Each structure stands twice: as C-alpha cells, then as structure tokens.
Amino acid sequence: MSDAIAYERVGDVAVLIAQNPPVNALGLDVRAGLVAGIERAEADEGVRAVLIYGDGSTWFAGADIREFGKTPKEPYLPDVCNRIEACPLIVVSAMHGTALGGGFEIAMSTHYRIAVPKARMGLPEVHLGLIPGATGTQRLPRLTGVPAALDLVTSGRQINAKEALSLGVIDRIEEGTPRDIGLAYAQELLDAGAPRRAVSELPAPEPVDFDAAYDAALKKSRGQISPAYGVRAVQAACELPFAEGVAEERRLFLELMGTDQRQGMIHAFFSERAVGKLPELKGVEPRGIAAIGVIGGGTMGAGIATAALLSGLKVVMLEMTPEAAEAARGRITGNLGGALKRGKISQDTHDDMVNKALTLTTDYAGLSDVDLVIEAVFEDMGVKKQVFTQLDEHCKPGCVLASNTSYLDIDEIAACTKRPEDVIGLHFFSPAHVMKLLEVVVADKTAPDVVATGFALGKKLGKISVRAGVCDGFIGNRILKTYRTAADHMVLDGATPYQIDKALTDMGFAMGPFAVGDLAGLDIGWATRKRLAPHRDPRERVPTYIDKVCEAGNFGQKTGKGYYIYEAGKRAGVPNPEVLELIEAERAERGITPRDFSDDEIRRRYMAAMVNEGAKVLEEGIARRPLDIDMVFLFGYGFPRYHGGPMKWADLQGLPALLDDIRSYAKEDPYFWQPAPLLEQLVAEGRTFDDLNKDAA
Ligand code: 3H9
C-alpha cells in the first residue's frame, strides 16, 4: 500500500482513506494506493464492502495537474476507475469538500455515493483546456441523461449536493463526517443486501442533436475548443459500447493534452495562485482592517465601496457636498440591489450594509477611525495632493493611505504626506465590485506591511492582486497604451477599426480595442491627447480623426455614438460610417496610400506590441514576473484565458519569430518598434518568459 491511501478494517467494511494534502489530488501514489486498497479488500477475509473517503478538507479534487505534460505513469486514472467499479464487493464513496474532475470520476465508478450537504462536485476539466479523461463523459450521461451531462461537461460548473441528488449522481445526503456517514451507509447497504451497481452497465443514454450542441459550445467559448470536444465525448457515450466510448474519450483527452490551449489554461490556473505569493512578504503581517474610507463616490468610488461592503467591511464614504454624498449612496445602493437581485446577499444583509455598515460624510474628520482609506477622485495631481494632505492631517497613525490613480506617480503623492511609508496605490478596474483585478502599486517608500495589507484587502474583496511598480499606467494601462497605438497605426495604414476588433474577438478577446474605447468613453482619451499634444515627439503618429467625432459630442456608448453607433436597448453597436469617412480624409491629408491587412497580420502586430512593452515593463521591474503581466491581462483586460496571457502566448508562439516580426516592423517605424532588450536577451539565450517565472519561484 502507498502512504497516500491508508487501509483500515471496520467490521465487514474495508476503509480506504485518501491522505494526500492539500486537496487529495490523484497523483501516482494515490492511484496506485487505490488499486492496492481494492485488491487488499478483495483478499481480506470477511470484507463485504469498501468505503472510500478523503482525509482533511476534501474528497479527491481531481487528477494531479502537476503531472500533466509529463509521461503518464501506470496505473492510469481510467483504469483505476474501471478497477474500482469491477470490484465484486460493494464500493461506497463518502464525499465532502470538492469532488472534482478525476475525483468525481472515481465517485461515479463506485457503486453508491453519499455526500455531506456542503459537498460540491463537478467536472472542471474544460477550465484546464481538457475534457474529463477518466470515464466521466461516459458515466455521467448514463446517470443524468445527456442534457445535464452536456451542461456539466461543457461548462465545468460545480453543483452542490442537493443538485447532485436531484440529478441522480449521488444517492443520499447526510450531515456528519465522511467517515461516519460512509460507514453507517455501507452498513445499511450490507444489512439490506444491496446489490453491486455498476454505472457502466446502465443502458446508453438517449442522444440529442450533437452537431447543434457542438456548434453552440464553440460559439459560447469564443474559440476555446475543449467544450466542443466534450460534446463529442458525450456523443460517444450514446453511440458506442462503454469500453469503446472510454477509448474515444481518451483519444479526445490526449489530443487536447497536446494543445497550446491546454498549456495556456494550466498556466493560468497556477499563475492565479502564484500571483499573490511574494517572497518579499514572507512572514510580513498585514495591518488589521475592519473599516475603510473611500473618497469620491463616482462610479469607481461607489464600486470600491460596494466591493468592501459585500466583503463585510465597514465603509465611510466622503464626498464634497451633501448632494454628492446622497448621489454616491444611490450608486452604492443600486449596486447592492443588483447583488440582492442575483441572490448574492439576503435582504437582511443588504439592509444592514446600507443602513449600518455604510456611513456618508462631507468632513475629513469622519475618516479619523478608519484603518485604510482609498481616494478615487478626479485624475489630477493637484487634486490628489490636496486630498492626501487632508488625509495626513485627519487619519489615525498606521492608517494605510491608498490612491486609486490609474496613471499618476504614487511617489509624488506620498511625498506630500509626513508618512510616505503608509502610502500605496490600489488600482481597481471599473466596475470595481465586478472586475477581479487589483494592481497593488508599491512606491519607493511603501512599508512592507502596507504592501501586505494591500494584498490582504485584495483577498478579502475576492480580487486577483498583482504587484506593480510606479510608472505611467503601471502594468496594465502602460502596456495597453502601446498596443492601442499599434492598432491606431494599422488604421492609418489601411485597416478599419471594425476589422481590427473582429480579428481580435476572433482570437478570443472579449472586445476589440475600439469597442473598448467606446465603452470606456472617448472623452478620456481625447482629454489625454490634448494634454500630451504640446509634449509629443514629432516622430509619434497619432491619428486625429476620432477627435473630430469627440468634437461633435460623441463619446462612445454613453452618448450612443463613437466608433460604433448604439441603438437604444442594444449593447453591441454597428460601425459608424462617419468614422470611415474621417479616416479616409486623414489618410489623404497625410499622403498615406492604404494597404490591406490580413487578420493574421493584425493579430501579430497587436500582440507583438503588447509583448514587447511587457518585456520592457519586466526589465524595469514594474512587473516582477511575466506571470504578473499575464494575470493583469486575464483579469483586467478581457484577454482570452485559453492563451494563458500575453507572455505565455509569446512563449507558445516562439520568441524568435516574435522578435523577427518586431525587427521587420522596426524597419518601417523605428521610433515605435524598438525591440525590448530583455526579449533580445531571451532569444539569444534560447530561453522563455516562463523560464523567468521559474527563476522567480
Ligand atoms: C482531471 O481531473 C483530469 C481527469 O479527468 C482525467 C485524468 C486522466 N492538482 O486552489 P487552492 C494545489 S483535471 C495539483 O489554493 P482552495 C494548488 O495549486 C483536474 N495541485 O485551494 C494549491 O497549491 P499551492 C480537475 C492542485 O481551497 C493547493 O493545491 N480538478 C490541484 O482555494 C491549494 O489549492 C480541478 O481542476 C490539482 N488538481 O481550492 C480542480 N488542485 O498551495 C482544481 C489544487 O502550492 N483545483 N492544487 O499554491 C481547484 O479548483 C481548487 O484547488 C480547489 C481548492 C477547489 C480544489
């Protein structure tokens, strides 16, 4: 027996206990231990049933993802599942925690399943760019029928014990420890003379229109292929005998295992967990936070306040006037009302948040008791400095003073206080109660426990927090500015905004850059262009056509017109013909003869700009690791998760080819396309961005 599976005998029942913390992943030792445990039970005189449960916080949470990409070792998980089911004794699963992926597949291979009420289960393999590969796509539809199986396999969503019971995937829910409820259930089954029940022996499920389901899965996943593969695997359960269906599932699983999408998704899984673990914060205790102050109750401030209230914090909102404070209250209660409507909070919790946890004030003295304050006022250094001078005067010692600025210099803001060590940037993304990303911007003098507090707050708010250094735009907006410029250049040279947006949504982006501009409001970029105009290098190529759209009072979605025209009640716009006319006029004025861009070239240029600037951001230490950049783009900029993030995408494409592209673009525009020295160095050394992640681990 392996140490990962303990064997015990309780009366007529052999008990197999998984002991592979933290999540009882089904690594080699666990798989071997399960087979050995079943064999031992069969040989153990007098044993009539086998109970399997997990020690610690959970049942098996799936195959061991760290083994993926390496040569698989026997016993393979599908064989383990089949071996368990073939056991002539009755085999019972007692589930708690999360029975996911291979873990759920093990449970479906046992003959009876009981779970505690809080147990959750599901087949999340699509989130790793895979499908269930250990008989799950064959057993689940036999238990639930095809529609429910297709839903679970293609969405990867988790279900609770109650839903599992109603779908017929578990037999019973019982309060207690998995050991106690499992032993009692096994004994009850023995006493009742219950038969061995093999799911694989159930009749093949009724088919549906699988081609329609395949197309729907592809459309919904924006180009991610694994959900559509899941449809074909479930189809095999209807059309093939069990063993052949399992072989087909295996074939599809292994095909996906070899894809870049699988690598991208697994990179995202581990990076999401690594991003908040900073070596510099090891052993550093964050400051306690029970109440926070928010300054400015516009969309951003109200969103931050909402996120804080939803996570159980008290919030003091400061506005300039009682009227503005009331308007802020309206925005916050509107946001909380949405959470209530979606069932995220109860009416009582909602009322407590609005009436007890939220306080409004127009006086800085009202912030004297908060533990952390975030300013979300107008993006102007003078205004920010006034706010921080006031905060310095009124906030208690040890209070963390945070700015939500998207671009401005946190060092300069900190310098206007007598406590720069307490000052930090906490850059939320709008709407702040929805968007997952938080850039924790560390200034020169920020104290380590203040950085730790930024990360602790992010965790409490359910955010993915990424450490960033100070520069214009930090990680995300700085890189955005560069690839957005690459897109603008392509428009000047012959592409249309609509062609560019489409090429990028075809690559899996939630939106293209021009649709994003309309969503964010074109007035923001217009104001920036006006501010920067006197300081521009003459070699910069900045289109002016969109300024004319703004001059006519069209700022995108909020005014109904921008790059696109938005009809009332519709979110997606149609191309604005005036924009095309203005672009043509500008090209003529500049003497540019437009040329064709293929979708592939559009994507290559856009991504090359993103990755090249990412490499510069790394070089300068603004981002510590490539994976930090990847997480910023996945959680803040709608970057397709199945590419893993821009730096992972670059690795998967191959850095030498990317550098060749950049060098060839530099021949046309050497000012804009300057290859990042770090990229050149990696190519020269034959290394990848992921090697840098490993160096930093
Ligand atoms: C599969 O099963 C394929 C089969 O169909 C076919 C095979 C042939 N493996 O998330 P946490 C680590 S595919 C290895 O922070 P939580 C995780 O990296 C698999 N390691 O905890 C972290 O390590 P560290 C299908 C894993 O309580 C630590 O455990 N299953 C695995 O917030 C704690 O994790 C899934 O996709 C794993 N499978 O959430 C489930 N899982 O401390 C993936 C976790 O070094 N896992 N680790 O950073 C999850 O969704 C969550 O981890 C879970 C716990 C909900 C279980």
Q: What is the DSSP string of 599-644?
A: HHHHHHHHHHHHHHHHHHHHHTTSSSSHHHHHHHHHHHS---GGG-
C-alpha to C-alpha distance for 244 and 240, rounded to whole angstroms: 6
Residues 180 and 323 in one domain: no
Taking the C-alpha atoms of residue 142 and residue 380, their distance in angstroms, rounded to an integer, is 62
How far, in Å, is the centroid of ligand 1 from the Cα of 62? Answer: 7
347 and 403 co-located in one domain: yes
Ligand 1 centroid vs 64 CA: distance in angstroms?
Answer: 7
Instruction: Quote the tokens at residue 634.
Output: 């996945």
pLDDT at 569: 76
Is 0.90 topped by the overall pTM?
yes
- Residue 668 domain boundaries: 476-696
Nearest residue (by CA) to ligand 1, atom 8, is 133
Q: Is 308 found in the same domain as 221?
A: no
pLDDT value of residue 1: 59
Could you tell me the distance, in angstroms and rounded to a whole number, from the CA of residue 196 to the centre of ligand 1? Answer: 31
CB-based contacts of 207: which residues, under 8 Å, 6+ apart? 146, 235, 238, 239
Instruction: Confirm whether the ipTM is greater than 0.95.
Output: yes
Q: Are residues 318 and 174 in the same domain?
A: no
Domain-embedded: residue 268? no
145 vs 290: CA distance, rounded Å:
48
Structure tokens at 641: 């998760």
Q: Are residues 418 and 523 in the same domain?
A: no
- Pocket perturbation via mutation, ligand 1, pick of 23, 98, 249 by most ligand atoms within 8 A of CB: 23
State whether residue 171 is helix, strand or coil. Answer: coil
Whether 105 is a known active-site residue: answer yes
Is the same domain home to 193 and 247? yes
Give the model's pLDDT for residue 525: 86
- Domain with residue 59: its CATH number is 3.90.226.10
174 assigned to active site: no
Closest ligand 1 atom to the C-alpha of 124?
36
Candidates 405, 418, 549, 552; CA nearest to 471 is 405
Residue 274 within a domain: no
Which atom belonging to ligand 1 lies closest to the Cα atom of 58? 56
From the list 8, 67, 85, 105, the catalytic residue is: 105
Is residue 674 assigned to a domain?
Answer: yes
Look at ligand 1, atom 16, and give the residue with the nearest C-alpha.
23
Q: What is the distance in A from the centroid of ligand 1 to the CA of 92?
A: 23
- Number of domains making up the chain: 3
Question: Which one, of 549, 553, 550, 564, lies nearest residue 512 by Cα?
Answer: 564
Minimum CA distance residue for ligand 1 atom 9: 64
pLDDT tens readout for residues 25-63:
999 999 999 999 999 999 999 999 999 999 999 999 999
Kindly state if the Cβ of 226 falls inside 6 Å of ligand 1: no
Q: Is residue 266 part of a domain?
A: no
Same domain, 520 and 651: yes
Burial of residue 426, with CB atoms counted within 10 A of its CB: 0-12 exposed, 13-18 middle, 19 or more buried: buried
- Looking at the CA of residue 273, tell me the nearest atom of ligand 1: 48
User: Considering the domain boundaries, does residue 275 fall inside one?
Assistant: no
CB-count exposure of residue 684 (10 Å: 0-12, 13-18, 19+): exposed
* pLDDT reported for residue 531: 83
**Are 101 and 63 a contacting pair, CB within 8 Å?**
yes
Residue 490, C-beta contacts closer than 8 angstroms, at least 6 positions apart? 500, 597, 602, 605, 606
421 and 486 within one domain: no
Domain end, chosen from 435, 468, 501, is at 468
Ligand 1 centroid – CA 58 distance (Å): 11
- CATH code for the domain of 320: 3.40.50.720
Say if 116 falls within a structural domain: yes
Last residue of a domain, one of 427, 445, 468: 468
Alpha-carbon distance 693 to 473, whole Å? 23
Q: What are phi and psi of 432, to 5 degrees?
A: -65, -20
pLDDT single digits (tens) 369-382: 999 999 999 888 99
Same domain, 81 and 33: yes
Residue with the smallest CA separation from ligand 1 atom 35 is 62
Instruction: Note whether 483 and 451 are same-domain residues.
Output: no
The string of pLDDT tens digits covering residues 77-88 is 999 999 999 999
Kindly list the averaged pLDDT for each block of 10 residues, start to end, along the chain of length 697: 90 98 97 98 98 98 93 95 98 98 98 98 98 98 98 98 98 98 98 97 96 96 96 98 98 97 97 93 95 95 97 97 96 95 94 95 96 93 94 97 93 96 96 96 97 97 97 94 97 98 95 93 87 89 94 93 90 93 97 97 98 98 97 96 98 98 96 98 98 93
54 CB near ligand 1 (under 6 Å):
no
Same domain, 480 and 399: no
74 located within any domain? yes
Which of helix, strand or coil describes residue 403? strand
Mutate which of 34, 64, 65 for ligand 1 pocket (most atoms within 8 A of beta carbon): 65
Q: Is residue 271 part of a domain?
A: no
Whether residues 425 and 535 fall in one domain: no
263-313 tens-digit pLDDT: 999 999 999 999 999 888 999 999 999 999 999 999 999 999 999 999 999
Among 468, 502, 527, the domain boundary falls at 468
- Closest protein CA for atom 27 of ligand 1: 23
